[in-house]
Amino acid sequence: MDIYLEPLVEELKLLWDGVRAYDAGARCPREDCWFTLHAICMWTIHDSPGLEFISGLAVSGTRGCPTCGDHLQAQYSTSLRSTYYLEHEKYLPFDHPLRAGCTDQIPPYMTMIDYCVLEARIQAGEVPRVSSGLNRVSVLLELPYWDSLLIQHLGDAMHEEGNVVKNLLQHIWRKVDTLNHRRACVEFGMHPHAWPYTRSNGVEAIPPAEWVMSSHHKRSMLRRLCAYSNDAYLHPSSRDNLIG
């Protein structure tokens, strides 16, 4: 990815030093319309895969959160064959009811310089880590001001919100609430009331979970969504099929 960004970075370096430009819209003598133009790249906007391409930081696995970095609590689930991220409550305000007695301090955010320092310590054997989460050093660090920016990367709201809503609906619609997901609850010691049990005939089953909506609640939610939907995006026949 850096090979595609190198021409842009070279131009941004020139704009940081300043280039001579002409103001064609100014009503002044021609010799007075020249000025020195400066510009910077304030931040980049992308989805999560784009963040990995641009920054060189991992967005999946045990180092899947570039902001948390080394403070991320991740654990691999053998039931789901994927990585789970734990201890989210420590990022909530101290007076938040969902903290549930968690007294951990909010960990500091990690910058690209922090990742480079951590990677250097790993290479020197000072830190017993397999991976720092830094796949490569981004070419954007060649910009003289990049490491001093408070915000370097922004998530695309359309993609991020869409992914959150999609996953939320899949959970409450029981699209991803399978036996393996309940076994993962047992594996991590979470939600004991939702653990699978064995019926009298020897078949393993899962009890109703509090996060799964009933048929009545699903229809009520769909009616509310259809009431606010635009006819240009949802045909009346489709609306009837959803509610029915």
Tell me which of 44-48, 134-138, 185-189 is least confident: 134-138
Distance, in Å, from the CA atom of 12 to the CA atom of 139, rounded to the nearest integer, reads 12
Q: What is the β-pairing status of strands 19-22 and 197-198?
A: unpaired
Please provide residue 25's backbone torsions phi and psi, each rounded to the nearest 5 degrees.
-90, -5
What pTM does this model have?
0.65
Q: Which residue has the higher pLDDT, 103 or 195?
A: 195
pLDDT number for residue 233: 53
Distance, in Å, from the CA atom of 111 to the CA atom of 116, rounded to the nearest integer, reads 9
pLDDT at position 244 over 60: no
The domain ranges of the chain are: 2-155, 156-212, 214-244
Distance, in Å, from the CA atom of 39 to the CA atom of 9, rounded to the nearest integer, reads 12
Rounded alpha-carbon distances, angstroms, from residue 40 to 16, 56, 110, 149, 161? 6, 20, 22, 11, 28
Which of 64-78, 122-136, 223-237 has the largest mean confidence? 64-78
